[in-house]
Amino acid sequence: MADPDDFAYKLLHNRWHTVMPDGIDPETIGNVITRLRKWAELNFRPTGHSPRCGLAASSKRAGDDCEIIAKQGGWVESSVTMEGYSEDGDG
């Protein structure tokens, strides 16, 4: 199980592409999402909110309980929003 206190998105070393211990700042996440949108030629605009939703859905599919999902995503354990994202992960 992943450490819920660890970063969900981590830096990659710019030369070796190995995972670094630090997390990615919100501005960088936004820039990555914008570049990926252009690359994928999406006809909608994903936002920084999109990976947060994906994190909850993926965590639920992996079998993590609500406490872990809430801690990773920064929600309170009884968050209605988090529950909605988790239901998205149920398929």
pLDDT digits (tens, 9 = 90+) for 29-82: 888 888 999 999 999 888 877 788 888 888 888 888 888 888 877 788 888 888
Distance CA(49)–CA(46), nearest Å, equals 8
With cut-offs at 50, 70 and 90, classify the pLDDT of residue 90. Answer: low
Distance CA(77)–CA(2), nearest Å, equals 17
Non-local (6+) Cβ contacts of 51 within 8 A are 8, 9, 29, 33
75 and 55 together in one domain: yes
At residue 11, the 3 state secondary structure works out as strand
Distance CA(85)–CA(87), nearest Å, equals 5
* Domain that includes residue 40, residue range: 8-47
pTM value is 0.58
Find tokens 């920084």 and name the residue: 48
Positive or negative, the CA dihedral 90, 38, 42, 75 is: positive
59 and 37 together in one domain: no
Task: Give the count of domains, the chain.
Answer: 2
